[in-house]
């Protein structure tokens, strides 16, 4: 069966740091999604197309569909990483319907762990919980990147923390290059706080997701309380 696709126009496209691109697409009329879901982009390659998945970094009530995309170095020849930076405002991209089950449970304290572009779905989930669902349970984010140059969306996170007393975030740098006053080391080193009575949401590369999940389970967290998305 042929799948429904959409052809939204780009409203905004910019680099957030040296390799993370923020992309805003017009939200098509018939497009509805849950925070944390992803869509497939149809990327032209030679005479054909390849599909690449990207998580929605926006919340369902936002006017645009927002994405944040890690652009790989040119030498890796990634079709999406080569194609997306050539686009401009007003160009269109073919995308699929939303899919995926990486969506939060509203009735528990929530602990989110993201590395790199893994922050994309998690920002959408957290914003939806705080701004739209008005969830007053504790919501915490641990965001890990290598160094200061890899940080993005910090102003947005700070604004959320200043606005919502139930939200707190920490950034952990595994290889800080300055007198960094935040957390140091890998995210796995900063997980062990009040572990019970939370649901956990992990997103990032396969090694990190595996390590965080194992650490949580070894320390008594029920695997049913852990949801993850691997990029």
Ligand X SMILES: Cc1cc2nc3c(=O)[nH]c(=O)nc-3n(C[C@H](O)[C@H](O)[C@H](O)COP(=O)(O)OP(=O)(O)OC[C@H]3O[C@@H](n4cnc5c(N)ncnc54)[C@H](O)[C@@H]3O)c2cc1C
Here's the x/- map for ligand X, 68-107, by CB under 6 A: it reads as -xx-x---x-xxxx--------------------------
Give DSSP secondary structure letters for the chain: -PPPEE-PBEEEEEESSSSEEEEEEEPPTT----TT-EEEEEEEETTEEEEEEEE--S-TTSSEEEEEEE---GGG--HHHHHGGG--TT-B--EE--B------TTSEEEEEEEGGGHHHHHHHHHIIIIIS---S-EEEEEEESSGGG--SHHHHHHHHHH-TTEEEEEEESS-SS---SEES-GGGG--SS-TTEEEEEEE-HHHHHHHHHHHHHTT--GGGEEEEE-
The interface with ligand X within residues 106-125 (CB under 6 A) comprises 117, 120
What minimum distance in Å lies between the beta carbon of 67 and ligand X?
6
Q: How far is the CB of 143 from ligand X (least distance, A)?
A: 14
Q: Work out whether 55 is an interface residue with ligand X (CB under 6 A).
A: yes
In whole angstroms, the minimum distance from the beta carbon of 147 to ligand X comes to 16
Q: Which is nearer to ligand X, 72 or 192 (CB)?
A: 72
Using CB under 6 A as the binding criterion, the count of chain residues that bind ligand X stands at: 18
- List of residues contacting ligand X (CB under 6 A): 38, 52-55, 67, 69-70, 72, 76, 78-81, 117, 120, 229, 231
């Amino acid at each position: 069966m042929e799948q429904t696709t959409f052809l939204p126009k780009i409203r905004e496209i910019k680099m957030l740091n040296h390799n993370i691109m923020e992309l805003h697409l017009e939200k098509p009329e018939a497009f509805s999604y849950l925070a944390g879901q992803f869509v497939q982009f149809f990327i032209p390659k030679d005479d054909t197309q390849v599909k690449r998945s990207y998580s929605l970094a926006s919340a369902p009530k936002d006017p645009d569909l927002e994405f944040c995309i890690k652009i790989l170095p040119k030498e890796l020849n990634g079709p999406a990483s080569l194609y997306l930076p050539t686009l401009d405002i007003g160009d269109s991209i073919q995308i699929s319907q939303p899919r995926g089950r990486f969506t939060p449970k509203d009735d528990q304290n929530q602990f989110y762990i993201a590395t790199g572009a893994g922050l994309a779905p998690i920002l959408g989930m957290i914003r939806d919980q705080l701004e739209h669902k008005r969830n007053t349970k504790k919501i915490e984010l641990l965001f890990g990147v290598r160094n200061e140059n890899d940080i993005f969306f910090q102003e947005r996170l700070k604004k959320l923390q200043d606005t919502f007393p139930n939200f707190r975030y920490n950034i952990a740098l595994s290889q800080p290059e300055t007198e960094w006053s935040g957390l140091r080391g890998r995210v796995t080193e900063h997980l062990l706080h009040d572990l019970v009575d939370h649901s956990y949401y992990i997103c990032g590369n396969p090694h990190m997701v595996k390590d965080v999940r194992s650490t949580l389970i070894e320390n008594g967290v029920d695997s049913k309380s852990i949801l993850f998305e691997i990029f």
